[in-house]
């Protein structure tokens, strides 16, 4: 089956059950539906197997699945919180909306905030986890920052902003972006960058101080703490 974006199928990387590792619903038992393809190319991407054809054989990594068959798979699992992630899920908005119309789940979508959400998804999705990418991601500004899209999420009460912060430069850029869109700080999670527990702890202590004084929420990356960079957990 040729891998392409069509309205009645989804290009899927993996489906697995775990607990949500980031953001406001951290710890919630969830099924993760990881979709293929991305419109960005972050230098530190930990899911490059969903989009990077130069490093991965996407014909082996990705599968085109019919909506009804995929819905049956999701219904057979016990979690009733569904996290649609990627890659960039909103590249497949139309097929996601078709799938979600068949499911009773509470739904979260993870996005980098560069593609506008459709009205159908805005009406259906319970929680948006919006992670704008900063200069340190290596993406050019005109690709990683879409102010029209961010403005829409900033005024949507079910959209939560999550930013991964490594250093003062990241923090300054994140503050400027969030202030530009007047994103309420109680809807903003700052998370330490890191792939080891030691890095997360050290940067987490620094960010805890920032959050205490500036009103952001401190997030962690629970899956990194528990499983490092293992896939499908």
Interacting residues with ligand SF4 (CB under 6 A): 38, 40-42, 45, 47, 86-88, 112, 133
* 85 φ, ψ (degrees, to nearest 5): -135, -170
> Based on CB atoms, which residue is closest to ligand SF4, 109 or 112?
112
Give the C-alpha separation, 64 to 9, whole Å: 6
> Based on CB atoms, which residue is closest to ligand SF4, 71 or 87?
87
From the CB of 53, what's the least distance to ligand SF4, in Å? 13
Query: For residues 178 and 159, is the Cβ–Cβ distance under 8 A?
Result: no
> Based on CB atoms, which residue is closest to ligand SF4, 133 or 203?
133
> Based on CB atoms, which residue is closest to ligand SF4, 36 or 204?
36
Q: Hey, what's the torsion of the CAs at 98, 101, 106, 107, to 10 degrees?
A: 20
Q: Where are the beta strands (DSSP E) in 36-132?
A: 63-66, 81-85, 106-111, 127-130
3-class secondary structure, 87: coil
From the CB of 200, what's the least distance to ligand SF4, in Å? 17
From the CB of 105, what's the least distance to ligand SF4, in Å? 22
> Based on CB atoms, which residue is closest to ligand SF4, 38 or 100?
38
Give the C-alpha separation, 130 to 109, whole Å: 8
From the CB of 133, what's the least distance to ligand SF4, in Å? 6
C-alpha dist (Å) from residue 82 to 89, 94, 152, 158, 188: 13, 17, 23, 15, 21
From the CB of 48, what's the least distance to ligand SF4, in Å? 6
From the CB of 37, what's the least distance to ligand SF4, in Å? 9
> Based on CB atoms, which residue is closest to ligand SF4, 48 or 67?
48
Give the C-alpha separation, 47 to 223, whole Å: 14
């Amino acid at each position: 089956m040729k891998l392409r974006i069509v309205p009645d199928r989804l290009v899927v990387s993996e489906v697995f059950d775990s607990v949500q590792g980031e953001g406001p619903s951290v710890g919630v038992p969830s099924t993760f539906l990881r979709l293929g393809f991305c419109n960005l190319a972050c230098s530190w991407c930990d899911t490059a197997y969903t989009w990077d054809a130069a490093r991965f054989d996407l014909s082996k990594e990705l599968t085109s699945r019919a909506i009804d068959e995929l819905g049956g798979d999701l219904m057979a699992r016990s979690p009733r919180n569904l996290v649609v992630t990627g890659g960039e899920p909103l590249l497949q908005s139309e097929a996601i909306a078709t799938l979600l119309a068949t499911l009773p789940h509470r739904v979260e979508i993870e996005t980098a905030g560069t593609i506008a959400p459709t009205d159908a998804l805005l009406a259906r999705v319970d929680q948006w986890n919006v992670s704008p990418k900063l200069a340190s991601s290596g993406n050019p500004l005109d690709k990683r920052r879409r102010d029209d899209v961010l403005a829409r999420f900033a005024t949507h009460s079910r959209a939560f902003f999550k930013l991964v912060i490594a250093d003062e430069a990241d923090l300054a850029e994140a503050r400027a972006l969030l202030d530009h869109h007047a994103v309420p700080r109680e809807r903003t999670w700052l998370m330490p960058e890191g792939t080891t527990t030691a890095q997360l702890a050290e940067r987490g202590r620094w960010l805890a101080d920032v959050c205490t004084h500036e009103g952001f929420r401190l997030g962690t990356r629970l899956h990194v703490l528990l499983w490092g960079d293992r896939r499908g957990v």
